[in-house]
Amino acid sequence: MALMSGQRSLVWALALLNTVAYGVLYYAQPLLAVQFEQAHGWTRSQTSLAFTLALLVTAFTAPRLGRTLDERGGRSLLALGAALGAISFALLALSSTLWLFTSAWLLAGVAMGLTFYEATFTVLGQHIQGANRTGATLTITLIAGRASTIFVPLITALLQGTGLLPTLLIISSLLLLCSVVVWRVVPLGNGQSHARQRVPFTQDAFFRLVTTAFTLTRVVMLGLGLQLVPMLLHDGYLPAHAAWIAGLMGAAALPGRMLFVPALGRLGVLRLTTLLVLMLLMATGLMILPHDTWLVLLATPLFGIANGALTLARAELLVAHYHPQVFGSVNGQISWWVNLAQAMTPFGMGWLFARSASYQPSLWMLVGLTLTAVITMAHLQRLDQVTPQITPASTP
């Protein structure tokens, strides 16, 4: 069934929000950090700490934001998230002290929780169901998945052409525009046509296994992504070649997402997710071997395909098991663990390299984590729980 006009507008508004939010709140951070370090004499540790704290804010606020999205819907909250992002960049434009810089990023952490996939997928599920929701989720991730491709060169050009202050104000204005679009397009409420008796979400075995699997895979994806270019340079690759290989990994996420929907119809969500985690294990295992060019060119697309498709797999697994009435709560509680692990991963990878002066210990650790995720998915399949946690109430 085709989407109605209002639903199409919702999908495009959420895609715009995700693309801009990931582009400026996440991918632009390293570019902006360098400019602040040069302007104020701050160290990389100081600017990195501010961003790490922002990710921790995102993690700790995720459960509460998820419950609020379930209760109230997303119109005001998503618009608020974009507005908070705009305010945070306005504060960054005023930042001449480290405490104000850090405070701005703490505010940005709240904005991330209200503008990234976890929030938009919750709102999407409230207003679009079934195959239409799957297709809409794919559309959003295909567009937002290009955020780094769009915004890294754009922010770089703005910084070189206009300087730091105008760039921050342009970013702030762009987020404010997103806030207005979301406010005008996202429907009021949470999509419930009549009052329902709210049943609080209770963690079950399915939730614990899904949380474990996706927390582990997120650590692996981030850990290998952070180390890929430095590792290739360490092995003698030219900078241009290492950058090209890293770009290949990112580009492979696109076909991974495009192939996800037809594969979902053939395999089902549990088997498909297990297959993707196995692909991740294979790619990570290949990186342990001597980095011959053909092995690297085999591993990086496998990794990219799995990385891109797992974003969709997480949403599909939760929708298959939980009613939309508690989707925000479930997603928020999973995000607590995933975002916390994401915030800690760079420090863990750096610590292992500092202790050993080699990338092998961290690669073996990533292989072990991926293998644990595969075992977790096998347990998840044995549970055979794909019915909703909360069924629609028949009475108010």
115 vs 336: CA distance, rounded Å: 15
Amino acid identity for residue 192 in this structure: Q
The reported pTM is 0.85
For residue 363, being part of any structural domain is answered with yes
- Structure confidence at residue 387 as a pLDDT band (50, 70, 90): very low
> What's the pLDDT tens digit per position in 206-245?
999 999 999 999 999 988 888 888 888 888 888 788 878 8
For residue 394, being part of any structural domain is answered with no
22 plus 168 within the same structural domain: yes
For residue 35, being part of any structural domain is answered with yes
13 plus 74 within the same structural domain: yes
- Structure confidence at residue 60 as a pLDDT band (50, 70, 90): very high
Average pLDDT over residues 91-102: 95
For a pLDDT cut of 70, what percent of the chain falls above it? 93
212 plus 116 within the same structural domain: no
Q: What is the pLDDT of residue 396?
A: 31
333 vs 128: CA distance, rounded Å: 22
Which H, E and C letters describe 59-104, residue by residue? HHHHHHHHHHHHHHECHHHHHHHHHHHHHHHHHHHHCCCHHHHHHH
20 plus 138 within the same structural domain: yes
Q: How far is CA 295 from CA 204, 236, 283, 299, in A?
A: 40, 15, 9, 6
Residue 7 has pLDDT above 90, yes or no: no
180 plus 215 within the same structural domain: no
> What's the pLDDT tens digit per position in 295-323?
888 999 999 999 989 989 998 888 888 88
303 vs 283: CA distance, rounded Å: 5
180 plus 219 within the same structural domain: no
222 plus 157 within the same structural domain: no
Residue 283 has pLDDT above 60, yes or no: yes
Long-range CB contact pairs, 350-359, < 8 A, 24+: 353/227, 359/227, 359/230, 359/231, 359/234
Amino acid identity for residue 95 in this structure: S
CATH number at residue 360: 1.20.1250.20
> What's the pLDDT tens digit per position in 157-212?
999 999 999 999 999 999 999 999 999 999 987 766 555 556 677 788 899 999 99
240 plus 358 within the same structural domain: yes
Average pLDDT over residues 58-77: 92
Higher pLDDT, 178 or 358: 178
Residue 392 has pLDDT above 50, yes or no: no
Helix (H) or strand (E) holding 58: helix 44-72
Tell me how many domains the chain contains: 2
Last residue of a domain, one of 157, 185, 213: 185
63 plus 177 within the same structural domain: yes
State the distance between the two ends of the chain, measured CA to CA, in whole angstroms.
29
Q: What is the pLDDT of residue 25?
A: 95
Which residue has tokens 């939730």? 207
Q: What is the pLDDT of residue 196?
A: 53
273 plus 356 within the same structural domain: yes
158 plus 217 within the same structural domain: no
Residue 393 has pLDDT above 80, yes or no: no
146 plus 227 within the same structural domain: no
Range of the domain at 293: 205-383
Token pair belonging to 245? 């290989």
